[in-house]
Copies of this chain bind each other. A is one copy, B any other.
Amino acid sequence: MQDIRIELTQNPTHLPEDESTLGFGKRFSDHMFVMDYTVEKGWFDPRIVPYAPISLYPSTMCFHYGQTTFEGLKAYRTEKNEILLFRPQQNFKRLNISDDRLCIPKLDEEFCLEALKKLIQIDEKFVPHSKGTSLYIRPFIIATEPQLGANSSTQYKFIIITSPSGVYYSSGLNPVKIYVEDNYVRAVRGGMGMAKTGGNYAVSLKSQVNAHNNDYSQVLWLDGVERKYIEEVGAMNIFFVIGDEVVTPEINGSILDGITRKSMVELLKKEGKKVSERRISIQEVEDAYENGELKEVFGTGTAAVISPVGVLKYKDKVMTINDNKIGEISKHLYDTLTGIQRGEIEDKFGWTVKVY
């Protein structure tokens, strides 16, 4: 394993006294991990250096051709003052899957995890203490060859930055309003919908702005071919409780293989609940609503963990779910997963990883 060069900051900063002012993704810890790639050298010069701007020529490929990938995960401070990561191996595994789709050279997943632990050890004071807070971790890769031919880059930068963060949704666990997008499409079979790459977020922006303008939080995407089957919510995977079955769309190549999604499915299975990963149409959801069988709807993702859906709109039909209140299963899953993440509930799955 390569040695990591370490250069500590000369200008240390601190968390604010009042952690409720943290917000999401706006402040950054003192250091970052950086590693470069060239065809000749492979990934080289892994280093932890002061968080600072990077200098790139305007011809740098990532500004033009979207060859970028990223991940998002969190570190949590437990009551015993330990620092836990949640299934970080899954994030580096998925980063390599995204990289494969985007023609970016693969990383050594084990080395990445060691580098991340080292980075958090150095910036330990930036892991906030209050309930609901965390250190948000953003590993990402950008194509850095400075030339304009529309090919795969021969040079890359892999960077990990960390951001002490408050709660993602300021409205907390209050149910959100979501509408089903029937005009724009996020991704299609054969595309890159399963990768965490900039283009999937860029394509979603216009719908998201429309949603906000109409007082909705986010949009629910349908499949790009038939415009019938439910995909995901852009920043989240989606679950429906229909009768006694918990349903989430199957991993089909066009939706993100969410780690919170996967954990919820495993959790529900372990508890003996009926949980299905399968195709589900918007028509089935509407029918279940009409029959009184649609008990709960919730999104899952690293940022929010669980986001209950209180209102779901499809064309002219506005469906109010569970009286616009958080449902029992949503609440239970949220409490269980965040309990495991913070070391308050025994981790029978071996999901958490100690930073020290």
Contact = CB atoms under 8 A, between A and B. Distances in A.
A12 interface: no
A260 interface: no
* Copies of this chain held together in the complex: 2
Interface in A32-91: 32, 51-59, 62-68, 70
B25 A198 contact: no
Chain A interface residue count: which class?
Answer: 35 or more
A155 interface: no
A190 B199 contact: no
A191 B208 contact: no
A345 interface: no
Nearest to A189: B185
Contacts of A24: 148-149
Contact of A161 (B59, B142, B187): B59
A150 interface: yes
A336 B305 CA distance: 60
Contacts of A51: 58
Contact of A64 (B57, B63, B103, B198): B198
A152 interface: yes
A42 B309 CA distance: 36
A197 interface: yes
A313 interface: no
Contacts of A192: 199, 202-203
Contacts of A2: none
A150 B235 contact: yes
A268 interface: no
Contacts of A53: 55-58
Interface string A294-313: 00000000000000000000
A111 interface: no
B59 A150 contact: no
B138 A64 contact: yes
Interface centre among A52, A198, A200, A201 (most CB of B within 10 A): A198
Interface in A211-251: 224-225, 227, 234-235
Contacts of A189: 185, 224
A112 B51 CA distance: 35
A317 interface: no
Contacts of A184: 190-191
A216 to B, nearest CB: 14
Interface in A115-144: 136, 138, 140, 142
B147 A25 contact: yes
Identify the 8 closest CB pairs spanning chains A and B, nearest first: A199-B199, A66-B198, A25-B148, A185-B190, A66-B202, A65-B201, A188-B188, A53-B55
Given A66-B200, A103-B206, 9 more contacts: A28-B57, A58-B140, A59-B161, A64-B201, A66-B66, A103-B209, A190-B224, A190-B227, A192-B199
